[in-house]
């Protein structure tokens, strides 16, 4: 069934444009409450990132859920994975996150976690959408939900993160730069690393509601790279606005992306007694990751783009590790969803155990040159049905033959067409990507 509102990662869009409006979110809270509680009441947690519209949507969700008879626990600004964790430990019916992740401040979105701390099943999302078509009816006053704030949410999550590595592990002597993207991790992330013994300098820890992800965090790591070099730090850690993405910077100032981080964690897990798991990447994962894992006899499969699809394939295979080049890393042996802080701790633990730097650990994987060009699509077109685009795609694939690969797909979260070309020769890859992207741009303009 086609979803009417839900995308690959909840409901997302520009604030004030339908459906990211207060009236829609009010009814969404009510509809979700009716479906999730089934008339039996219960609790729901709500957390958010730091964008200014979060206050408005928090109030709307709170009212809708209360009208449906559910109690609401407000967490305030907290990372998305923290909300998944607290949904479980507070024994709630569901968790709701108000965030547009790595998007600019004038976007926002709503996503849900089940009582188990995982993404909602498709049938639950369909049921919520069906309930949205019904007339909203408020419960009688005696059966309205109550609302309270959880005052120790940060401390609970900090302790959970620390518990993801062995108790005796500490990072004393490490100098870290942590970029929180002026987002949801701005309080918890520095505390986690400091409490584990690291010397921490920070970037992106002064949110004002408008600066989330602005030239900082995992999507804009240039400032972090400069600071790592300037302060002679051991490494840099870049999170995104809601804390579920991670990019790192080694001591030479070079970026270490999600593919390389996944490789490092997989290598570390392989040393653990009894660990037996393949790795799930996506269609965007670098071919170098696949080849490096194959060399070490670690099975590798590709899912569709989006952590939702990585999770689905992990569950199908009964595997524990997966992730995306963008920095979504899922360690199901540690938590239930992608978590930037948990992933960073696994990498730091691997450094401590091996006695190697991040630069040294990444050397086991050789990345193929890869070019990604995002073509803005203000008016959506069907790229599969466009003859000119498909012809250009065939020519690009023929040009590379067996020396690389081409991927052309619309983004699931933004109005973009992503043109990805990968191969052994950097100059050839760049030329093929630019030629294909130019054709896509012309067709988008013509539409």
Question: Helix, strand or coil for residue 245?
Answer: coil
Structure tokens at 85: 């964790």
Contacts 24+ apart (CB under 8 A), 311-320: 311/118, 311/119, 311/337, 313/280, 314/280, 317/278, 317/280, 319/277, 319/278, 319/279, 319/280, 320/269, 320/275, 320/277
The distance between the two most distant Cα atoms of the chain, rounded to a whole number of Å, is 69
> In angstroms, rounded to a whole number, what is the distance separating the alpha carbons of residues 106 and 209?
10
Q: Cα(7)–Cα(29) distance, rounded to whole angstroms?
A: 17
CA 176 to centroid of chain Cα atoms:
22
Q: And the tokens for 118?
A: 């995982």
Sheet order of strands, 255-256 included? 199-203, 175-179, 235-239, 246-249, 255-256
Token match 């019904």: residue? 134
Query: How many Cα neighbours within 13 Å face the side chain of 415?
Result: 11
Q: How far apart are CA 94 and CA 128, in angstroms?
A: 13
Q: Write the burial class of residue 294 (CB in 10 Å: 0-12 exposed, 13-18 middle, 19+ buried).
A: exposed
Cα 87 from chain centroid (whole Å): 18
> CA 108 → CA 12, 54, 399, distances in Å?
6, 8, 40
Taking CA atoms, 12 is separated from 25, 50, 422, in Å, by 11, 16, 30
Cite the active site residues.
Answer: 101
Convert 304-326 to b/e letters by CB count within 10 Å (16 or more is b): ebbbbbbbbbbeeeebbbbbbbb
- 416, HSE (Cβ side, Cα atoms, 13 Å): 13
CA-wise closest residue to 270 among 230, 321, 219: 321
Sheet holding 370-376, edge to edge: 370-376, 416-423, 404-410
Contact 202, 178 (CB under 8 A): yes
């Amino acid at each position: 069934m086609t979803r009417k509102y839900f995308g690959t990662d909840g409901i997302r869009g520009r604030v004030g444009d339908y459906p990211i409006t207060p009236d829609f979110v009010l009814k969404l809270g009510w509809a979700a409450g009716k479906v999730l509680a089934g008339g039996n009441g219960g609790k729901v947690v709500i957390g958010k990132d730091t964008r200014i519209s979060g206050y408005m949507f928090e109030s709307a969700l709170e009212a809708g859920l209360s009208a449906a008879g559910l109690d609401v626990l407000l967490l305030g600004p907290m990372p998305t994975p923290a909300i998944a964790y607290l949904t479980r430990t507070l024994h709630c019916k569901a968790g709701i996150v108000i965030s547009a992740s790595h998007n600019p401040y004038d976007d926002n979105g709503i996503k849900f976690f089940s009582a188990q701390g995982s993404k909602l099943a498709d049938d639950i999302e369909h049921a919520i959408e069906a309930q949205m078509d019904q007339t909203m009816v408020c419960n009688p006053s005696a059966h309205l939900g109550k609302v309270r704030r959880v005052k120790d949410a940060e401390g609970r999550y900090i302790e959970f993160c620390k518990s993801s590595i062995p108790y005796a592990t500490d990072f004393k002597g490490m100098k870290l730069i942590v970029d929180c993207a002026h987002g949801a991790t701005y309080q918890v992330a520095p505390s986690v690393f400091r409490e584990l013994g690291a010397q921490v300098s920070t970037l992106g820890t002064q949110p004002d509601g408008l600066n989330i992800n602005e030239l900082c965090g995992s999507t804009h790591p240039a400032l972090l790279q400069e600071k790592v070099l300037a302060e002679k730090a051991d490494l840099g850690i870049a999170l995104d606005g809601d804390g579920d993405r991670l990019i790192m910077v080694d001591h030479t100032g070079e970026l270490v992306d999600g593919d390389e981080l996944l490789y490092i964690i997989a290598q570390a897990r392989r040393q653990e007694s009894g660990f037996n798991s393949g790795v799930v990447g996506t269609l965007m994962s670098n071919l170098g990751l696949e080849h490096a894992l194959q060399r070490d006899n670690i099975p590798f499969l590709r899912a569709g783009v989006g952590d939702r699809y990585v999770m689905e394939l992990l569950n199908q295979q009964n595997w524990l590790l997966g992730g995306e080049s963008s920095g979504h890393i899922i360690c199901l042996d540690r938590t239930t969803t992608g978590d930037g802080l948990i992933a960073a701790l696994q990498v730091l633990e691997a450094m401590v155990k091996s006695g190697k730097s991040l630069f040294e650990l990444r050397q086991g994987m050789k990345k193929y040159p890869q070019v990604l060009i995002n073509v803005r699509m203000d008016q959506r077109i069907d790229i599969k049905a466009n003859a000119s685009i498909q012809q250009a795609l065939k020519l690009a694939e023929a040009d590379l033959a067996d020396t690389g690969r081409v991927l052309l797909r619309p983004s699931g979260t933004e109005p973009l067409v992503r043109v990805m070309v990968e191969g052994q020769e950097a100059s050839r890859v760049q030329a093929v990507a630019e030629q294909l992207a130019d054709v896509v741009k012309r067709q988008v303009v013509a539409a």
